[in-house]
Each structure stands twice: as C-alpha cells, then as structure tokens.
Amino acid sequence: MKTDAAWHHGQTLAAGQVAEFKVWAELVRQSMGGLHVFLPLRDMGIDGVVHRLSDGDYLPVQVKARTSLTPAGQVHITVTASSIHDDEALMVCVLVDAEQLGAMVLVVPEAKFRELAAHDIVEGREYLTAAFQLHAGGRSRWALDLVPREGLAERFGGALALTPSTDEVLAVDRGSEGFLGESEVVRRLAESPSLNLFRPFPDLETVEVLARHVDTHRFMGLQVKTAGWERPNLENRVYVRRSSFRARPTTYMCVLSWDRVAMRFGDDCLLIPSLDISELARAEGEWLVLEMQPGSAHHRRLDRYQTPLAALGRAAEALLAASDGGG
C-alpha cells in the first residue's frame, strides 16, 4: 500500500506539472509572443509569472488541475486555505483532458477564489473547493470567470491585436561572460529571503532575471550586462539595442564588471532604472552606448548608481519594499 500511495502522489505531481506547461504553451501560442513566461527558481507559492509585453505588467499565476470529472460532469479543484495567500495572483484551474486542456478554463484572482469557494474543515485543516462545468453560461458562481480554452491569452490581455512588433521581441546574445553575469546576479539576489526569483522560458526578452518581493508583491525586472575588461585597457562600453529597448518603471539595468585576467567580478555593480538610460547613454547607430571609462564625465554620471555587488540583494529588497517602489 505504501508503494501504491507513493505512486499516486507522484502521479498527482506529474499531472500538475503537465497542466502548468500546457497553460504556458497555450498563452505563448495564442499571443504569438505577446505574453512571456517566467518560471520560479525556488518554490515560494507561485507557479509562474506572465509578462504582458504590451504594457509591461507582470501577472503572478498559480495553476491547479484535475485529470477527471466528477459523476456530475464537473471539475472540482480543492486546495488548502493556507496555500492561498496572494490576493493579486491569478488562479488558473483546468482539466487535463488527454492531449489538451479542457474546453473551459477558470481564471480567477485568489481573493475571489477564497470568497466564492466552498469551505471545509478536515482534521483541523481548512480546504477550499471550486466546482465548475466545462461549458459557458449557466448560473454557477464561477460563470463570469470561465473562459474558453482558446480565449486564455485574451483573458491575460495578450490577444493578437496587442502582439508587439518583431523588433520588440529581442533575441539576446548569450556570450559566456553574459551568462556568468546573469548567474552572479541570481546568486546575489538569492541571498535575500524576501525575494522570489524567476527566469524567462523561453528566454526571448530583455528582462533576464525577475525578482518579486514576497510581502509587497512588487516586481523588479533586471537586464544584466557584463562588461569584461583587461588591466592594460580599462576602457569599456555597454551596448543596448535601441529598437528593442523598452523603459519601464519596473525594469532596471544591472551592469557588472568582469576582470578577464583575475577571472573575478568587480566589487561594485551599477543598478540603473531603465527610465534613466536614455539620459545617460548616447546614440550610436542602432545602439544606445554607456561609456564606462574610469575618470571620464560619462563614468562620473554613473557614480550615483554604484552598488556594492555583495549588497545587490539588499538594494533590490529596499527598492521593492519602498512605498513608491516598482510593480
């Protein structure tokens, strides 16, 4: 019996993973790239974040699934009340029907799910249950939150009419130094327990690391630039493609320096609000260029953005915890 129970537990976990990736695939397919998916690097209650490129908004998502209907033809989604603690997150409740999702999908904010769900106490634990059918209309309390499977992206504001132009979907060059820089930023941010970290899958946009404060629920998207240098030549530049650069209040550029001789990062980094980039950089053809020469006027203009690399996580925490922070 123990082996059988373990098998069913594993089957349930696998079904949940299948449902999540089917939801992500539908959002990307239907929006034709207008919606990007970020997946968590650590499980802190959010299954993924959907980035709507048309306005830059980030939408936290929990996916809940069943693989069968009740005898009455309903989908029953039951969760523990303690797992519902983010009023702004969207719950996407689905039936996994063989190769595809069920015909209708329940998309509802967690706060509304908690309000409308049936509440039960079992062995001292509170459970919330939503019961819905796979057709539109009717008098169900969930009727207004049911959407056709093919309208899922539209529910997230990612209809084809909002799809960005080809120039807005950036194919980012992933050099080895750039990958090192992104990994270092993730490591430094991970030292702050109040930050939930996400990476984009697929990796198609300028935001390469996404941080969300677990208390304020604010987002910070980071574009990471790694400026490699050798001691005989300290001059360096950071290039940003003008056609794909979109300044948002929630987006920051994090610039790290990489010593190619010593094979180590510099002690400081730059944490620059994307809204400031156009004033700091100069246009050079299709690029915005940040000049990093020590001692130059351009370099001095960047001094106020200088942050100890060891304190990057704390700096991000402070920005996201502030009352006027991004997100």
Reduced to 3 states, what is the DSSP secondary structure of residue 293?
A: coil
Residue 15 gets which letter from DSSP?
Answer: H
Query: What is the pLDDT at residue 47?
Result: 96
Indicate the average pLDDT of the chain: 85
Nearest to 152 by CA among 111, 109, 110, 92: 92
For the segment 42-75, what is each residue's pLDDT rounded down to a tens digit?
988 899 999 999 999 999 999 999 999 999 999 9
Domain segments of the chain as ranges: 2-163, 167-321
Beta bridge partners of 59: 50
CATH class of 2-163: alpha beta
Domains 2-163 and 167-321 share a fold: yes
Query: What is the pLDDT at residue 174?
Result: 45
For the segment 114-131, what is each residue's pLDDT rounded down to a tens digit?
999 999 999 999 999 999
What pTM was estimated for this model as a whole? 0.83
Query: What is the pLDDT at residue 308?
Result: 96
User: Nearest-5° angle of CA 64, CA 66, CA 69?
Assistant: 140
For the segment 157-211, what is each residue's pLDDT rounded down to a tens digit?
986 544 444 444 444 444 788 889 999 999 999 999 999 999 998 777 789 999 9
Distance (Å, rounded) from C-alpha 184 to C-alpha 199?
13
For the segment 1-44, what is each residue's pLDDT rounded down to a tens digit?
333 344 344 455 567 788 999 999 999 999 988 999 999 999 88
Query: What is the pLDDT at residue 326?
Result: 47
For the segment 133-162, what is each residue's pLDDT rounded down to a tens digit?
998 877 789 999 999 999 999 999 986 544
Query: What is the pLDDT at residue 199?
Result: 96
Query: What is the pLDDT at residue 244?
Result: 77
Residue that the structure tokens 């909002």 belong to: 162
Residue that the structure tokens 């129970």 belong to: 5
Half-sphere exposure of 25 (CA within 13 A, CB side): 9
Spatial contact of 62 and 90, defined as CB atoms under 8 Å apart? yes
Half-sphere exposure of 27 (CA within 13 A, CB side): 29
CATH numeric code, 167-321: 3.40.1350.10
